[in-house]
A and B are shown apart, each in its own frame.
Chain A
Amino acid sequence: MQGFSDFVAFFEDSSLADAVRENDLLFPSIESVHVLAICLVVGSIMAVDLRLLGIASVKRPVSAITRGILPLTWGAFAVAAASGFLMFISNATKYLGNGYFVAKLCLIAAAGLNMLVFHFISAGDQLRWDAQARLPVSARLAGGISMLLWIAVVACGRWIGFTMEAG
Chain B
Amino acid sequence: MTGAIVGYFAKWLAATALSHTIQTAGWVIPALQTIHILGIAVLFFSAVIVDLRLWRVLQRDVPLNDVAGRFLPVIWPVVLILLVTGGLLIIGEPRRSLLNTTFYLKMALLAFALVLTVILQWSLSAVPEFWEKDRGRRIAGRFAATLSILAWCSIIFAGRWIAYTQVG
Residue contact B153 to A28, C-beta cutoff 8 Å: no
The tally of CB-CB contacts under 8 A between chains A and B is: 86
Q: In the complex, are the beta carbons of B45 and A71 less than 8 A apart?
A: no
Cα–Cα, bound, A64→B60 (Å): 10
Q: Is the CB of B156 within 8 A of A28?
A: no
Known: A28-B164, A32-B157, A36-B157. A162 touches B41 (CB 8 A): no
Q: Are B161 and A158 in contact (CB under 8 A)?
A: no
Partner of A46, one of B26, B41, B61: B41
Chain A 47-91 near chain B by CB (<8 Å), digits 1 or 0: 100000000110010001000110110000000000000000000
**A151 at interface by CB-CB < 8 Å:** yes
Q: What separation, in Å, do the CA atoms of A56 and B160 have in the docked complex?
A: 30
Q: Which residue of B lies closest to A161 (CB)?
A: B30
Interface size class of B (residues with CB under 8 A): 20 to 34
Cα–Cα distance between A89 and B116 once the two chains are bound (Å): 39
Is there a chain A Cβ closer than 8 Å to B70's Cβ?
Answer: yes
Q: Are B52 and A43 in contact (CB-based, < 8 A)? A: no
B22: A residues at CB distance < 8 A: none
From B11-19, B32-40, B107-115, B122-130, give the one contacting chain A.
B32-40
CB-defined interface of A1-41 with B at 8 Å, one 1/0 digit per residue? 00000000000000000000000000010011001101111
Identify which of B58, B163, B164 contacts A69 (C-beta below 8 A): B58
Kindly provide the distance from the CB of B31 to the nearest chain A CB, expressed in whole angstroms: 8
Interface flags, B53-64, vs A, CB<8A=1, else 0: 000001101100
Q: How far is the CA of A56 from the CA of B31 in the complex (A)?
A: 26
List residues of A (137-157) whose CB comes within 8 Å of B's CBs.
Answer: 151, 154-155, 157
Contact A36 B58 (CB under 8 A): no
- A159 within 8 Å of B (CB atoms): yes
B156–A68 CB distance below 8 A: no
Interfacial residues, chain A to chain B (CB-CB below 8 A): 28, 31-32, 35-36, 38-44, 46-47, 56-57, 60, 64, 68-69, 71-72, 151, 154-155, 157-159, 161-162
